[in-house]
């Protein structure tokens, strides 16, 4: 088992396959954009697979594909089926904005994708365009239904709550979880470089959202397993669940089990920390699997105890979520 120096078992790898995204969510993509990774620096599927093999041999059991927008990468099902074939991968999931999901959900499921997270911050098409810069709200809704039809399970819908943007829609979201077999998760806005400065006043604590949901439906708590980032509830009389991801008001660093591979082969040990390891260079210089595994094992020992911000931060945020993959 892969353990860090604080005794945390690291069994979850998030793999960003691209830093490109078709959306420009105001809380995610920095004002004025960000420097894109050069195309030749982005790992091929073969390279990603070689690295994932090393991680899995070290004890990684859960793999999530993310981005940027991962469905922008051609033939993502080829990568999915490659990872699925690796002995030791117990859980394979994808995070997507859902815009291209309707046409790909069945193929991804067939390739071995188990579950999926889809971002949807509003039920209002106009607002969707304001938040994301693109007029494709309907396509995301179709994507969610296609994921359910394809048998991806669970289908989680991620809502970043933003004051005076979507906090008037909490009841609509709860009603969605009441009638659909999805897990709807309210995520606290995290600071990201440049965007946070713009969106600073938009933060809404989960406790406030929970209060509003409780007025709509009775929440029945579910058991929280180690490594679960969400506090999850069933809705009495409902088909779906509701989760709260309290990244700011109740940071879950002490049982963080995750590390992140960027699309350029940089291993990131904490979503909000600077600690990284370049795996692309040794990989392209022909390092053997045991050599790569040694590098990863050593780097994991440098995973920080917790991220810089506790509560609402005053310190300089460091993360471009779209580069690291959330």
Query: Of 266, 282, 319, nearest to 14 (Cα)?
Result: 266
| Rounded Cα distance, 295 and 246, in Å | 32
E strand or H helix at 185:
strand 183-187
Contacts (Cβ under 8 Å, ≥6 apart) of 99: 22, 23, 69, 71, 134, 136, 139, 140, 143
| Rounded Cα distance, 133 and 126, in Å | 10
Q: Which is it for strands 155-160 and 115-119: parallel, antiparallel or unpaired?
A: parallel
Q: Which of 19, 53, 69, 77 binds ligand SAM (CB under 6 A)?
A: 69
C-beta of residue 174 within 8 angstroms of C-beta of residue 210: no
Q: Indicate whether 95 belongs to the interface with ligand SAM (CB under 6 A).
A: yes
Q: Indicate whether 192 belongs to the interface with ligand SAM (CB under 6 A).
A: yes
The minimum distance between CB 220 and ligand SAM, in angstroms, equals: 25
Q: Indicate whether 30 belongs to the interface with ligand SAM (CB under 6 A).
A: no
Which CB, 42 or 217, lies closer to ligand SAM? 42
Q: Which of 8, 15, 27, 52 binds ligand SAM (CB under 6 A)?
A: 27
Q: Which of 18, 66, 122, 263 binds ligand SAM (CB under 6 A)?
A: 66
The minimum distance between CB 236 and ligand SAM, in angstroms, equals: 27
Which CB, 54 or 321, lies closer to ligand SAM? 321
The minimum distance between CB 192 and ligand SAM, in angstroms, equals: 4
The minimum distance between CB 186 and ligand SAM, in angstroms, equals: 10
| Rounded Cα distance, 23 and 151, in Å | 26
Would you tell me the crossing angle of helices 170-179 and 206-216 to the nearest 10 degrees?
60
C-beta of residue 123 within 8 angstroms of C-beta of residue 169: yes
The minimum distance between CB 167 and ligand SAM, in angstroms, equals: 14
Which CB, 238 or 325, lies closer to ligand SAM? 325
Would you tell me the crossing angle of helices 45-58 and 76-84 to the nearest 10 degrees?
30
Q: Which of 11, 18, 93, 96 binds ligand SAM (CB under 6 A)?
A: 96
Q: CB under 6 A: which stretch of 7-15, 182-190, 204-212, 299-307 binds ligand SAM?
A: 182-190
Which residues sit at the interface with ligand SAM, rule CB under 6 A? 21, 27-28, 66-67, 69, 95-97, 119, 158, 160, 187, 189-190, 192, 321-322, 325-326
């Amino acid at each position: 088992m892969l353990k860090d120096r604080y005794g945390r078992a690291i069994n979850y790898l998030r793999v960003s396959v691209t830093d490109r995204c078709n959306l420009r969510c105001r809380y995610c993509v920095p004002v004025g954009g960000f420097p894109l990774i050069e195309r030749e620096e982005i790992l091929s599927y073969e390279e990603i697979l070689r690295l994932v093999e090393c991680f899995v041999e070290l004890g990684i059991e859960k793999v999530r594909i993310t981005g940027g927008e991962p469905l922008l990468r051609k033939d993502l099902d080829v990568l999915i089926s490659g990872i699925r074939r690796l002995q030791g991968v117990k859980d394979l999931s994808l995070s997507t904005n859902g815009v291209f999901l309707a046409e790909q959900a069945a193929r991804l499921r067939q390739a071995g994708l188990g579950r999926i997270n889809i971002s949807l911050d509003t039920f209002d098409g106009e607002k969707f365009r304001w938040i994301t810069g693109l007029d494709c709200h309907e396509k995301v809704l179709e994507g969610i239904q296609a994921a359910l039809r394809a048998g991806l399970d669970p289908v989680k819908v991620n809502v970043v709550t933003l004051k005076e943007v979507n906090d008037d829609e909490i009841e609509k979201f709860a009603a969605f979880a009441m009638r659909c077999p999805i897990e709807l998760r309210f995520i606290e806005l995290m600071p990201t470089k440049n965007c946070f400065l713009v969106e600073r006043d938009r933060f809404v604590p989960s406790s406030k959202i929970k209060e509003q949901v409780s007025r709509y439906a009775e929440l029945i708590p579910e058991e929280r397993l180690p490594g679960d980032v969400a506090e999850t509830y069933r809705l009495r009389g409902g088909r779906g669940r509701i989760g709260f991801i309290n990244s700011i008001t109740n940071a879950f660093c002490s049982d963080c089990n995750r590390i992140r591979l960027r699309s350029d082969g940089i291993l990131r040990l904490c979503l909000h920390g600077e600690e990284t390891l370049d795996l692309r260079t040794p990989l392209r210089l022909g390092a053997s699997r045991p050599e790569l595994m040694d590098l990863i094992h050593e780097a994991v020992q440098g995973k920080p105890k917790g991220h810089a911000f506790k509560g609402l931060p005053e310190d300089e945020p460091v993360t471009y979520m779209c580069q690291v993959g959330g």
